[in-house]
Amino acid sequence: MDPEVAKILDDYKAYLEIRGYSQGTIKQYLHDVNLLVRYCSKPPWELSERELLEFLVRLRRERGYGAASLRRKISSLRTFYRFLQRVGMVEKNILDSIERPKAPKRLPTFLTREEVEKLIAVADNFRDRLLIRLLYVTGLRVSEAASLTWSDIDFEKGEILVRSGKGGKSRIVLVDRETLNMLRKFKHDRAGRGESVLGISVRTIQHIVKKVREKAGIDKKVTPHVLRHSFATSLLEAGADLRTIQELLGHASLSTTQIYTHVTRKHLREEYLKAFGDLHLREKS
């Protein structure tokens, strides 16, 4: 890599750290810029809008990137060019004029309370049962769960401080009494093993959830993010307002949270049809 480009990337990493971005986000943003550098023969600050568009087209055609992936790449690179603008490497952020492709609207998968309880029941050990329950009752992102420390948990108030969540923002999430009791026991059993609560990586958490889903025999897709969706859906069905759910999930925009209203409407219709969908058949018999 060109030494000047390498120096700019080091400065960009420091810029992201100062702004409070999580390590996972920083890693992904740097990966996106490195991909741009590898694909293009010029330094990023010398590229034209046309050349950036050609780069995105190549990602679509050669790597099979869909609309959602391209949207994220454009947002990531827009942040990088904003940095280049700040340090005087470019006059304007040319990513501002590139429209992001429309993302397909997909309703998130979610689990019923009974399905979550089934996952917890079949988990192999106490840690895995705690993990499934913690993801469900807090709505934590998988990266947030992996980085959780004991000092983040207020056992008296039943709260968890999520430090530098998505977008570098911190927030407070709530924890129910049963999960707090499980956390106390787990902390006691792991005394002297460090500050990390779970002591496992994002990849390990994903593997555990997958393994538990298979053991439970649940046909739906089940991931840590599906448990987060299930948390939000359960709150909405219980009567929580969207603003509260937005705060607990750490969504920057209420429009992101509003998708759960569509989920619950779909769920309500399915439940309605179970009860009344074949009423005419019963009347004829």
Same domain, 35 and 132: no
In a domain, 283, yes or no: no
Residue 102 predicted with pLDDT over 80 = no
Which residue segment(s) compose the domain that 90 sits in? 3-97
Active-site entry in 260, 266, 267, 274: 260
Lowest mean pLDDT among 38-52, 173-187, 230-244: 230-244
Average confidence score pLDDT of the chain? 85
Q: Are both 191 and 120 inside the same structural domain? A: yes
Residue 104 located in a structural domain: no
* Helix, strand or coil, per DSSP, at residue 174: strand
Q: In what order do the strands lie in the sheet with 159-162?
A: 153-154, 159-162, 171-174
Q: 191 and 72 share a domain?
A: no
Cα–Cα distance, 145 to 147 (Å, whole number): 6
- Asked if residue 107 is part of any domain, the answer here is no
Are 168 and 270 part of one and the same domain? yes
Last residue in a domain, options 47, 63, 97? 97
Q: Which of 30, 94, 39, 26 is nearest to 65 (CA)?
A: 39
Q: Do 25 and 52 belong together in one domain?
A: yes
In three-state secondary structure terms, 212 is helix
Query: Which residue from 125, 123, 186, 126 is spatially nearest to 153, judged by alpha carbons?
Result: 186
Residue 271: pLDDT above 70? no
Count of beta carbons in the 10 Å neighbourhood of residue 44: 22
Q: Mapping DSSP to helix (H, G, I), strand (E, B) and coil, where does residue 258 land?
A: coil
Least confident of 31-35, 86-90, 113-117, 254-258: 254-258
Considering only CA atoms, which of 110, 42, 121 is closest in space to residue 261?
A: 110
**What tens digit of pLDDT does each residue of 161-190 get?**
988 655 567 888 889 999 999 999 999 998
- Is 260 among the catalytic positions? yes
Q: Which residue has the higher pLDDT, 247 or 58?
A: 58
List residues bridging with 171 in a β-sheet: 162
Whether residues 50 and 137 share a domain: the answer is no
The catalytic position among 73, 133, 141, 229 is 141
141 is catalytic: yes
- Report the predicted TM-score, pTM, of the whole model to 2 decimal places: 0.63
Q: Residue 159 in 3-state DSSP?
A: strand
Instruction: Clarify whether residues 53 and 151 are in a common domain.
Output: no
Number of domains in the chain: 2
Q: Are residues 54 and 150 in the same domain?
A: no
- CA dist 137 and 183 (Å) reads 13
Specify whether 124 is located in the same domain as 202. yes
* Domain end call among 97, 129, 156: 97
Report the range of poorest mean pLDDT among 69-78, 152-161, 262-271. 262-271
Burial class of residue 224 (count of CB atoms within 10 Å of its CB; 0-12, 13-18, 19+): buried
3-state helix, strand, coil in the chain (%, to 5): 65, 5, 30
pLDDT at 108: 72
Answer for the pair 138, 174: CB distance below 8 angstroms, yes or no. Answer: yes
Is 266 a residue of the active site? no
Q: pLDDT tier at 280 (50, 70, 90 boundaries)?
A: low
Tell me what pLDDT residue 272 has: 58
DSSP state of 89: S
Residues 112-157 have pLDDT tens digits of 889 999 999 999 999 999 999 999 999 999 999 999 999 999 999 9
Give the per-residue pLDDT at 103: 61
| Judgement on whether residues 63 and 141 belong to the same structural domain of the protein | no
Q: Cβ(162)–Cβ(146) under 8 Å? A: no
19 noted as active-site residue: no
pLDDT at 282 over 60: no
Alpha carbons 72 and 135: distance in angstroms, whole number: 24
- Which of 36-50, 203-217, 267-281 shows the lowest mean pLDDT across its residues? 267-281
Mean pLDDT of 1-21: 89
Q: Which of 129, 133, 228, 229 is catalytic?
A: 228
Is the model more confident about 159 or about 192? 159
Q: Return d(Cα 124, Cα 120) in angstroms, integer.
A: 9
Q: Is-contact 263 110, C-beta < 8 A?
A: yes
The CATH number of residue 69's host domain is 1.10.150.130
Q: Annotated catalytic residue: which of 118, 127, 133, 251?
A: 251
- Tell me the β-bridge partners of 154: 159
Look at residue 285 and tell me whether its pLDDT is greater than 50.
Answer: no
Is 171 tagged catalytic?
no
Q: Which residue is catalytic, options 118, 166, 213, 229?
A: 166
